[in-house]
Amino acid sequence: MMSYTIAGACHDIGHPGFSNVYLIEKKDDISVRYNDISVLENFHVATTFEILKVDKYNIFSNLTKE
């Protein structure tokens, strides 16, 4: 159940309000950064990982590898 909560929270984080196609055709910086491949999907996951790098937001910091 926790995975659904995390996925929902991260799904559209930082969404610019435009589609992949629009960003690619506009040659937006986001589409250039992700080489026109799954632009928003890559953007959302990269943004999530940037947030998780901050200790106070890293909800996984107390988990072990096991």
What are the structure tokens assigned to 52, written together? Answer: 């998780």
Domain chopping of the chain, boundaries: 2-57
The pLDDT value given to residue 6? 86
Reported as a single tens digit per residue, the pLDDT across 10-47 is: 899 999 999 999 999 999 999 999 999 999 999 999 99
Class of residue 60 by CB neighbours under 10 A (exposed 0-12, middle 13-18, buried 19+): exposed
The pLDDT value given to residue 27? 98
CA distance 45 to 43: 6
* Helix 39-52, helix 2-10: angle, nearest 10: 110
Quickly count: other Cβ atoms within 10 Å of residue 31's Cβ: 22
